Amino acid sequence: MRRQFFAFLFLLIAAPAFAAHVAVLETMADPTAKDKVKLSDRQYLTNVLREEAVKQLPAEQNFTIMTRENILQMLPPGKAIEDCEGECLVETGKNISADYICQARVGSFGGSLTLSAELYETAGNKLVSSFNGQGKNVNALLDIIKKKAPDFFRSAKSKSTGFDGLGGIGSVGSIGDYSYSGKQKFIVEITSEPKGAVPTIDGRADSKCLSTPCKVLVEAGSHRFVVSKDRYDDGEQVVDVRENNRKISFSLTPAFGWLVVNPEFEGNAESRGKLSISVDGNQKKDAKIELDPGVHKVRISHPCYDPMEFMVSIAKNKTELFDRMMARGMGGLELNAEFKGEPQSVTVRIDGMEAGSTPYAGEVPMCAEVELVGSGWTEKVDVRPKWHEDVQVTHQLAHSPDGLEIDETRLRAQAAYAELDGDDEFLAGEGRPSKVKNDGSGAAGKILLGTGVTAAVTGVVLAVIGNSQAKSASEKKYETESEFKKNRKDAESGQTLRSVGIGIAIVGAIGIGISFAF
């Protein structure tokens, strides 16, 4: 009995010598503030809060500040630190055998960020201390912690030691022999793929290593390394560090999947427009799209093809490929041709294939190239079909449908040369134009007439060719600056040719007029 009494008395006397364990949990964020304060910033706030706990509750005063690794190891299976808040923290503190437990939380109020912290005594299930503050940014929250955390943790000191930190002398004891208790430190290089992950070591971030790749000093021994990156699963390794320049690499698994849109196109109009892709109503620029796991609505469209819609289910770290055939869109066309105000029947060609003649009425593919074809000439028609609608176009021909005007001038020239050569058979034939004079004029008049007719015919032909070239170049579509410059150069060249032709034709006409004077 006496031995039991002295043992009990010894426990009472020795009780203050046992350290009080203090757990500082990771700083949480309300949903309204989660996007405003990054994970790395919250981890740094936790580090500063834990640093203040170490300053105010030192080991020589029988306090032990638990590391994040200690906390995780003490949690029951399946339990996470983030599962509880408020008074539930007390239960978490008991699960990890902590005498005191505290946690800070970031929120928002009136457009500003807020910070609140609570310190609980687990044995008495009591709120020991708390503080609140608000600021415009994370730096303001950091200042709040540095200002209010000292008094915040002194409450735990007065509870455990009977002193509030403001004065007084406690028990005095002697100090024994000195022995070095520090540990050797080594350089560790942390890398990840992809780069830019936030590393922590034993639950703590290092201000000199906030983004991979980076190097950090680590004490010798076993440590838990974790890297975190938005939209990727966390990477975790437990590594025994015993040498310098140890490399720890992480290959992070994406927490998203991909959709690749690569459809096939019916026909040859793919280059006449650009494919447009939208997912859940949001426009996408690339054909390979990152998407969160789940079901998404996709719409693809092209100016020349029928639009398509489909649903796609995306799995994490998986790729879905859309490679279906897109059908050419169709519209209706009523096409008429006129020459000098009179309706004409000429051949209609659509995308290089003969489709009928004017007046034409029928279906036409979207972005089709429509041409009218006559004797020795082709004219493009400005047709812009509308999807599932009818359009009406009347095209004014620049060429004579049967080429009679050009043929008559050519016959005049042939007749003039026949006169010079004395070809009576040609002069007497049906091909002789009625207006060619054959009255035995002098040789000079004949030469001048032939030369004038030749010049006039040549000028007309050059003017027609130049006009056609200029019009064709000006109507060509372009997608690049080089194509635009080429079209403009071709148009200017055609205009020059047309002007030269007109000039030659005028000179020829003057020559013909003078020839009749001989």
- Positive/negative CA dihedral, 115, 121, 125, 127: negative
Residue for token pair 């991979």: 212
Of residues 306 and 423, more confidently modeled: 306
Alpha carbon distance 188, 243 (integer Å): 9
Percent of the chain with pLDDT over 90: 39
- Checking if the pLDDT of 296 tops 90, the result is yes
Assessment of whether the complete model's pTM goes beyond 0.85: no
Structure tokens, 281: 């109503």
Pair type for strands 126-135 and 112-121:
antiparallel
Q: Please, which pLDDT band fits residue 180 given cuts at 50, 70 and 90?
A: low
In Å, how far are 139, 152, 188, 491 from 144, measured between CA atoms?
9, 11, 33, 72
Structure tokens at 483: 């194509």
- What's the confidence (pLDDT) of residue 11? 39
- Higher-pLDDT residue of 164, 21: 21
Q: What is the mean pLDDT of residues 464-470?
A: 80
User: What confidence score (pLDDT) does residue 36 get?
Assistant: 87
pLDDT over 90 (residue 322) = yes
The Cα-based distances of 418 to 75, 413, 425, 464 in angstroms read 115, 9, 9, 26
Q: Give the closest residue to 219 by CA, choosing from 54, 58, 67, 72.
A: 67
Of 310, 317, 255, 314, the C-alpha closest to 277 is 310
What the chain holds in terms of domains, given with CATH numbers, is 10-161 (3.40.50.10070), 185-251 (2.60.40.1120), 258-326 (2.60.40.1120), 330-396 (2.60.40), 405-515 (no CATH)
Q: DSSP string of 254-302?
A: BSSEEEEE--EESSS-GGGS--EEEETTEEESSSEEEE-SEEEEEEEEE
For residue 353, count other CB atoms closer than 10 A to its CB.
Answer: 8
Place of tokens 């009625």: 434
Higher pLDDT, 237 or 78: 237
Q: Quick: pLDDT tens for 236-277.
A: 999 999 999 899 999 999 999 999 999 999 988 888 889 999
* pLDDT-based confidence at residue 207 (cuts at 50, 70, 90): confident
Q: What is the pLDDT of residues 33-67, one digit of tens each?
A: 888 898 889 889 999 999 998 888 888 888 888 88
Supply the mean pLDDT for the chain.
81
Which sign, positive or negative, has the C-alpha torsion 259, 262, 264, 270? positive
Residue 177 predicted with pLDDT over 80? no
Range scoring the smallest mean pLDDT among 172-181, 220-229, 381-390, 392-401:
172-181
